[in-house]
Amino acid sequence: MTDATLKTARELLVPLNDYPHARESQTLAEAVAMLETRQIQFDGRISMPRVLLVLGEDNQLLGSLRRRDILRGIEPEFHEELDTTHPEAHFKAEIDPNLTELIPADDAESLAQKLSRPIGELAIEMRARVDINDSLMKIVRELVGNDTHIAAVLEDGHVVGVVRSLDVLRAVCSP
């Protein structure tokens, strides 16, 4: 067994104070600014975050907000409900992306309204969670089992940071 496999989440975590996080009531515009300006420094390396942690007013982890979730929040809205009373409404057709050309590009008011939405509305559940004393292999299992690149690290039920797949891979490959 190598030294890397003996590492725990405590040794691999990026502390919460060093990782972008926001309250559920903060806006999408604020989330964009955080993801755009924050840098994560870990083990002598600097990287840009791809995920923002979403916390409740009581500092409990509610979920995460990825870049693509923000894009989903500003995506043009199309009427997606099916009229189930119509006899030929048996399937839902894909939205043609070319229809976006019909939406005015300069609709700044609509975009501003979407960017003012609270991030809590678009946050997704963060299922990958590990205890601060969990082993490297437990972390790998959580990341793979939840098909994600980031896991919340908890101590006494409170989030204290995150472990990223990038850092796990570095730990596995380091001498």
Question: Among 22-31, 86-95, 159-168, which stretch is predicted with the lowest mean pLDDT?
Answer: 86-95
145 vs 87, residue with greater confidence: 145
pLDDT digits (tens, 9 = 90+) for 126-139: 999 999 999 999 99
Reduced to 3 states (helix: H, G, I; strand: E, B; else coil), residue 75 is coil
Correct CATH for 3-79+91-173 of 3.40.50.2300, 3.30.420.10, 3.40.50.300, 3.10.580.10 = 3.10.580.10
Q: Closest Cα partner for 37 from 23, 24, 26, 52? A: 52
Residue 158 has pLDDT above 60, yes or no: yes
Q: 97 Cβ partners below 8 Å, 6+ apart? A: none
Phi, psi of 24 (to 5 degrees): -60, -25
Coil/strand/helix, residue 137: helix
Spatial separation of the C-alpha atoms in residues 151 and 171, rounded to whole Å: 15
Bridge-partner residues for 162, per DSSP? 14, 152
Task: Please determine, for residue 13, whether its predicted confidence score (pLDDT) is greater than 90.
Answer: yes
Beta bridge partners of 45: 42
Model confidence at 86: pLDDT above 60: no
pLDDT per position as a tens digit, 20-64: 999 999 999 999 999 998 888 877 788 888 899 999 988 889 999
Return the pLDDT at 111.
86
Angle at 19 (CA atoms; ends 17, 25), nearest 5 degrees: 90
3-state DSSP assignment of residue 52: strand
